Amino acid sequence: MGYSLTHYIRNFPLRYYLSGGLVRAEEPVVSFFLAPEKSAALLTRRHQVIGYESDISNLPDAPPIAGAGGEGLGVQRSFSAKLLARWRAKGSPRFIFAPDLASYDFYCNVHNLNNLRELGAESLLEALHEEPRQVIGSWDEPRSFRWAVFDSGVEPLRGLFDRRIQQVLIIGIPADYCEQAESWSEAQQGSLFAVIPVAVACLKWFCEMIPTGHQAAFLLLLLSHSVVLAVVQNQQIVLLRQYLEDALLAYQEIPPLADELRVEAHAVYVWSAGPVPEELARHLAGTELAGEVLQQINGTPVSIRRPSDGSITEANAPVPHLLRWLEGRLA
């Protein structure tokens, strides 16, 4: 079953298309990694990297960070205008937000369809918007959230659930943050292309780029305020957990979890925007997704031509690799 006409009209991104979205393939795309400690921006055009700013957190009029509660400073030249001028780019930018959200600003979990009364993606989304407790019994958040429903491979679901699908991935982020992102993008004379939490982007990237086959893979995502542990098998997320504790405690949960899932052999991967904590690094029997490992997975490093002298630098850190992949996947 496809979308109804009413649903289509309500959710059609009209402002984006009226502002030229159908014919703006040449416009620059700015992908943001937004974290409380350190944010970054990747500028691309025609899927080619133009520039990369590794730290934009303290710049005036920078994009909003969830939970920060800051307001724009009203400078004469907007953030995006300065960014485009620095890298000699022109046009109305399109923005991709990849926020590193705190646990209270981010819901992400795998749900078994046998435990859901809804028979399709639209009815499930309607129930979540109406009252999340209808779907998530333990939900106690008073704020309004925006929701999305994916399959276990992090692909958007539409219509009635296929009988072959056993689980769905439900993701929610605060509506007020989405509204901040939309308002900021309009003030920058650009358009908001997507808001994708860092954890979701990493899960999708992992499922697409790292073949796991029948062997179970345990993926640890070290975020600013939490740790996400995902179990991936056959490019599908079969289990997902979030921890408020430190990374080592989450890592120590892997052996008993492997026994619980009756996994005979498994691999462990760690993704972190910054250095892996020393205590975890000493005990880690697995692969850190950084440096040459990322270059091998993605094929090439992220090459950036400096506007001052034309020289080319290469970046193999997790954030620029993730932003480049995300832009290519979405835009």
> Sign of torsion, CA 273 279 282 284?
negative
| Mean pLDDT of the region 223-249 | 93
pLDDT in tens, 133-161: 999 999 999 999 999 999 999 999 999 99
pLDDT at 12: 47
Confidence of residue 25 (pLDDT cuts 50, 70, 90): low
Maximal CA-CA distance, the chain: 61
DSSP for 258-295, please give it: HHHTT-SSEEEEEEESSPPPHHHHHH--SEE--THHHH
| Mean pLDDT of the region 6-24 | 44
The per-residue pLDDT of the chain, averaged, comes to: 88
Parallel/antiparallel/unpaired status of strands 266-272 and 287-288: parallel
pLDDT at 115: 92
Domains of the chain (ranges, CATH numbers): 5-102+177-199+308-330 (3.30.420)
